[in-house]
Structure 1
């Protein structure tokens, strides 16, 4: 397989003489298919929407209903397939079946967004093993086995691809009373880098996006506490919490030919939180 990003033309980019207008858009995802987990709400929905509007066909997976999302995307001219799927601690066999289904129902995915996630809040001393394992299972095990199945398929078809793991600023810090979540995101950061090292030579790029504090259901508890909400906002140089659709551009970039020399990279979309 020709590694992604080599040669004079890759994806939607082409070598041009100085002064010539661009013949193609390197950020276009036309002809691509993106499988997005946890696409029913929050960050997953925002990422899937951004990829679709950039030209990709979307395969949306979630345990929650997705019919309204499919209708919404198709109203904007985006092709969309949906599947109700329990992604908790996915087995290798289940992951392989998802990829097989995707290829049998249309074009197989060449973009994978591992977004589905879970958080359990509480002190470390009262964290149960059940809670620990449920978070690690969905946030770390599922992305790994789905990435395996996705990559095996692409290697078998001699095709390049892009994996985008949705991390968190808690991949770089411990957070407060979220030990299992912090552990899972630290682990996913390590997996992102490890898979990038192994698979980039085969044309499979693996990168991550680390969102900061976004206004989603997962952060409702923070936002319902006015003092904590304000204290957290005061640390953000941009001066406000993020909106889910503000990570869409980073996802399009990492999925597209505009980023063919990036692998093992994490883009922090955090309003400057980690720079403080």
Structure 2
């Protein structure tokens, strides 16, 4: 069965690299018109790759931790594509650094919580009115396996931010379900081929984690993109307030 998102407008925050970029490309390959959100550098390579594959994409620079910039970006996307956003994927996030709680300061706490949780809350707020008006929409929040187990060393605030995404997803699902809007979350485990683990995970720790995964391999960004595509499509119309684990069996609820 081919999933067809033709005519749908999708925004993926933090989508110029890694998992976000793969989600964006997967949605575009199914026909969605996609908005590439980035903060630093250029998104030309991502946009060009999608267009060369036959998709429709345009880049929008905005700080996902700024409610004002998110509001402005959503307006720009709607003007550019000629309609309101149908699919929102809250992918913006990161650990920033591994910091033990004994060395924690307010600046680090705020940076981590802002990029992982505040960005999610205010991106949802920015698209909600448009979705409510047309009585449909798909919101997909990106959490993490760290929300279960507290993450690795120095990642407690990151894990807490991702756990907050879980609770928010359930609360928002209840709030928006009367308007025909589905709100779900995905919770990736150890996903390779990204800058995250290249930056924060030593090779020995990587190999030790892979050895524990029942399916015998680390995940790939496409594994996450496939689940996001399902949640963005009509196949998930009777699913809301759920968190889908993507970890090869490393954690089973």
Q: Distance in 2 between matches of 1:251 and 1:154?
A: 18
Give the 5 Å matches for 1:35-54.
35-54=11-30
Unaligned runs of 5+ in 1: 1-24
- 1:75 counterpart = 2:49: no
What residue is the counterpart of 2:210 in the other structure? 233
- 1:217 counterpart = 2:208: no
Q: Distance in 2 between matches of 1:130 and 1:250?
A: 34
Q: Distance in 1 between matches of 2:50 and 2:178?
A: 34
Deviations 1:155-182 (A, max 9, x none): 2x32410000011111222112201101
Equivalent of 2:70, from 71, 82, 95?
Answer: 95
Q: Distance in 1 between matches of 2:108 and 2:203?
A: 24
Residue 4 of structure 2: SS of its match in structure 1?
Answer: coil
How many angstroms does 1:223 deviate by?
4.6
Equivalent of 2:141, from 159, 165, 182?
Answer: 165
The RMSD of aligned alpha carbons is 1.5
Unaligned runs of 5+ in 2: none
How many angstroms does 1:134 deviate by?
0.3
Give the 5 Å matches for 1:247-258.
247-258=224-235
Q: Distance in 1 between matches of 2:201 and 2:210?
A: 10
TM normalised by structure 2 equals 0.93
Q: Distance in 2 between matches of 1:149 and 1:159?
A: 16
Contact 1:90 1:138 in 2 (8 A): no
Task: Choose 1 or 2 for highest CA Rg.
Answer: 1
What residue is the counterpart of 2:89 in the other structure? 113
Q: Distance in 2 between matches of 1:135 and 1:104?
A: 31
Residue 262 of structure 1: SS of its match in structure 2?
Answer: coil
Q: Distance in 2 between matches of 1:266 and 1:27?
A: 21
Q: Distance in 2 between matches of 1:27 and 1:258?
A: 8
Contact 2:85 2:130 in 1 (8 A): no
- 1:59 counterpart = 2:59: no
Q: Relative contact order (alpha carbons < 8 A, sep ≥ 6): 1 or 2 greater?
A: 1
The count of corresponding residues between Structure 1 and Structure 2 is 248
